[in-house]
Amino acid sequence: MSNFQFGLAGIAMLFVLLLARMPIAIALGLVSVAGIASIRGPDAAFGVLGSLPYEFAANWTLSAVPMFLLMGAVAFHSGMTASVYKVCRMWFWWVPGGLAVATNWASTAFGAVSGSSVAVTAVMAKLAVPEMLKYRYDKSLATAVVAASGTIDALIPPSIAFVIYSWYAEVPVTDLFLAGVIPGLLTAVIYTAMIVTRCTLNPALGPRGTRDFTKAERRAANIDAWPLPALFVGIFAGLYSGVMTTTEAAAGSAMLACVIALVRREMTWNVLRESLSESALTTAALFFIVIGAAMFTRFMAVSGLPAQLGQWITGWQPSVTTFMLIVTVIYIVLGMFLEGIGIMMLTLPILIPICRALHLDLVWLGVVVVKLIMLGLMHPPIGIQAFVVKGVVGDKVPLLTIFRGLVWFLGVELLVLALLIGFPQLSLWLPRLAASA
């Protein structure tokens, strides 16, 4: 067999193992070691197995991941998110579907200081779903808005997906953070428009609020919600002032979250223990997958498969729209079986070389890829966001009802994705503005 054929056989074997429900990190590692051993010999394979995990874990840039996760965990466990949801309720009570709109924007705000879509969704499911059901909101809307808006976290900086993509694609993470701002806010705005339109046409889905709030109540709520804006400003001030690297800004933001919790007298030993434990477990799970993907990348490089595919596609000369349509279909299919970071790390070893051959902007590609894995978080049969909400609400709402509500949000996601592909400047305007400043 040629090296190219070994590469194809490795991909086929990987999918067999994944269909057999083997964890993606283990499947990636096994296929990579076997593939390199077949091409270069056992010594080379065990050399990669012995050195690559250390090289990865010692990477300075990726040490930002546990720090951003710790910041979000402290913000959650110390109760900072509840105050933001209260503010959003007060501002949007009067619009049709006001509680759903408030949930959408509170999730977006929490995403600005959290590194985990699952964490955002779990928090907002506890806060918002009981409130919406209390006011007789349609169950599919009440649960689906929580599941969908939690995914915006992946685009709003600081994004763990962007940090990992930055390491792999060798593009500045600061550019990716800026590139995700407009797409993330655009998603939240179109979600809002869809919710308000549906609730205007069918008020039973989400009735308007029946009471107003006084200026004093709003002022008190706004003051109480200062921690999340302070964290967001702290992150960006550190990153874009040139004073801190990404890792230093991540560590500083985690420390700032702890200081704010102390100032608010919400930092207890239990909060600290839960935050450290949660961020450590999430980091370990993510790194396990990415180490497997790094080994798979080495196997693909040895086989020469990505280079040959790049030459073939360059010779074919498809339009950007045609190529991205193919990529979209692949990601949607993979999203039926795998979780987001796993999909990204499975596809990037092949996708990045091809996109370089087609001279596509890798910052723009990063935004599109993250948007695509957001789709996978919502659609069945995996749809992890739906399962997270279901785990919180229990028997109050059937899983099928949650997925039925998500159909509307998936339609919005496809619209935003089309806009991002058709108008790359939506992603690239802020990074280029920052570069020219």
- What is the Cα–Cα distance from 162 to 238, expressed in whole angstroms? 17
Per-residue model confidence as pLDDT tens digits over 45-102: 888 888 878 777 777 777 888 888 888 888 878 777 777 888 888 888 888 998 999 9
| Residue 211 pLDDT | 66
Express as a percent the part of the chain with pLDDT over 70: 97
Query: Mean pLDDT for the chain?
Result: 85
Global pTM reads 0.84
| Residue 421 pLDDT | 93
| Residue 210 pLDDT | 66
pLDDT of 264 over the 70 cut: yes
Least confident of 94-108, 173-187, 290-304, 307-321: 307-321
Per-residue model confidence as pLDDT tens digits over 140-158: 999 999 999 989 988 988 8
| Residue 179 pLDDT | 94
| Residue 322 pLDDT | 87
Nearest to 295 by CA among 43, 125, 46: 46
- What is the Cα–Cα distance from 185 to 176, expressed in whole angstroms? 15
Per-residue model confidence as pLDDT tens digits over 202-219: 999 988 766 667 777 777
| Residue 142 pLDDT | 93
Query: Model confidence at 178, in pLDDT bands (50, 70, 90)?
Result: very high
